[in-house]
Amino acid sequence: MCTFRASTQLDRQAQPIDKSDLPNVRVFDNERMTHYDWPVRDPRQITIDRGDVGRRLDLVLQRHLREVTSASRTRIQQWIEDGLVSVNDTPARRPSRRTSSGDSISILVPPQAERAVMQAEAMPLDVLYEDEHLLAVNKAAGMVVHPTHRHPNGTLMNALLWHAHGWPDGARPSLVGRLDRFTSGVLIVAKSRAVHALLQRTLASPRSEKRYLAVVYGHVNLARGTIDAGLSRSRREKRTVVSVMPSAARSQTVFERLRRVAAPRVGLALLGCRLMTGRTHQIRAHLADRGWPIVGDAKYGRPLWAAIENDALSAVLRNFPRQALHAWRLMFEHPITGVRVTCEARPPEDFQQLLNVANLR
């Protein structure tokens, strides 16, 4: 229902490191069971300047480590949590820590391993919209977005690189935004770095709308509402949690109850959700905190299907293989033409079957 085309800002291939005569540095975090063992010269030293005062530590490091291709914000946050960063000679474990004037930061930057070249793979790709600047695709549930150590191929990026054959020289697909592996729906891709930067600003604007469908357990007695709760990363688990700490990131989700069924003792509803901010696992964490966990969510949900008396419905809920969350609509102003673009992705077959059996369609 849309058409887009993209450009992915791929990491540049790092230069091999000369490991001769370098001392070994070992860092081991007992709580996170993270082990680093590599040769390194000296920690990077950073002194806070006027432009850094009051900013988050991870953003300050991202600014000062621009030439380090491996220093994405996610990796920097991991380095902080794993004890590789010190502020004024004291280990800093919170990426959200605010910096002060005169702070001295020391960081042990892991060496940049050579990256395998990302391969194009001929795979089906559901293109919703495409022009010479960008494209929108409907990501299938279960598809990983970027290659990882555990998923080196078969990802959305591999498919996009194949799709990019024939694009002008210098154009490469670059995802703007993200979806969890088991969340389906609309994703935007840019074809150049310039368009990627413009799209980031556009999609962060209040004039852009990101809407999701979610099937949740619970008695949703409100027709609509707003969940405005700060989110932070759990120190014990790899999950996002609602937090009242001052360091928690402001997060807001607007919801609307589209359908509901009694499902005695449990309750079941179809919600439409609009992201006002884009935090990791935001919808999943917000709904779970309100007592409305998403069906099939192994990280934030609970197996409430066992309490549902309708055997057929209980079985479908029990066997649903993923979180019942679908990014169904994205609306934004085209960063080049200024035209309002609306991209919609129909719910996949498993989601639609769940709606049918639960009488939520």
Residue 40 clears pLDDT 60, i.e. is over it? no
Rounded average pLDDT over 12-21:
37
* pLDDT over 80 (residue 304): yes
What is the tens place of the pLDDT at every residue in 78-116?
889 888 999 998 999 889 899 998 889 999 887 764 455
pLDDT of residue 283: 95
Q: What is the 3-state secondary structure (H, E, C) of 79-111?
A: HHHCCCEEECCEECCCCCCECCCCCEEEECCCC
Q: What is the pLDDT of residues 191-202, one digit of tens each?
A: 998 999 999 999
For the chain, the domain total comes to: 3
Average pLDDT over residues 118-130: 93
Asked if the structure places residue 5 within a domain, the reply is no
The predicted structure's pLDDT at residue 274: 96
Q: pTM of this prediction?
A: 0.70
pLDDT in tens, 232-264: 877 666 677 777 667 688 899 999 999 999 877
Same domain, 259 and 300: yes
Q: Which structural domain, as residue segments, surrounds residue 147?
A: 127-204
Alpha helices by DSSP H, listed for 127-174, are 156-163
Catalytic annotation present for 89: no
For residue 1, the model assigns a pLDDT of 54
Domain contains 244: yes
Place of tokens 């980031």: 200
Residue 46's alpha-carbon distances to 56, 183, 290, 298, in angstroms, are 14, 39, 42, 41
Selected catalytic residue, list 103, 180, 297, 350 = 180
Shared domain for 259 and 320, answered yes or no, is: yes
Q: For residue 112, is it within any domain?
A: no
Same domain flag for 213 and 272: yes
**pLDDT, position 236:** 66
The reply to whether 217 and 296 lie within a common domain is yes
Rounded to the nearest 5°, which phi and psi values hold at 353?
-65, -40
Q: Domain of 97: which CATH number? A: 3.10.290.10
pLDDT top residue among 352 and 246: 352
Q: Of 159, 186, 204, which one is at a domain's C-terminal end?
A: 204
Q: Are residues 219 and 179 in the same domain?
A: no
Give, as one character, the DSSP assignment of residue 183: -
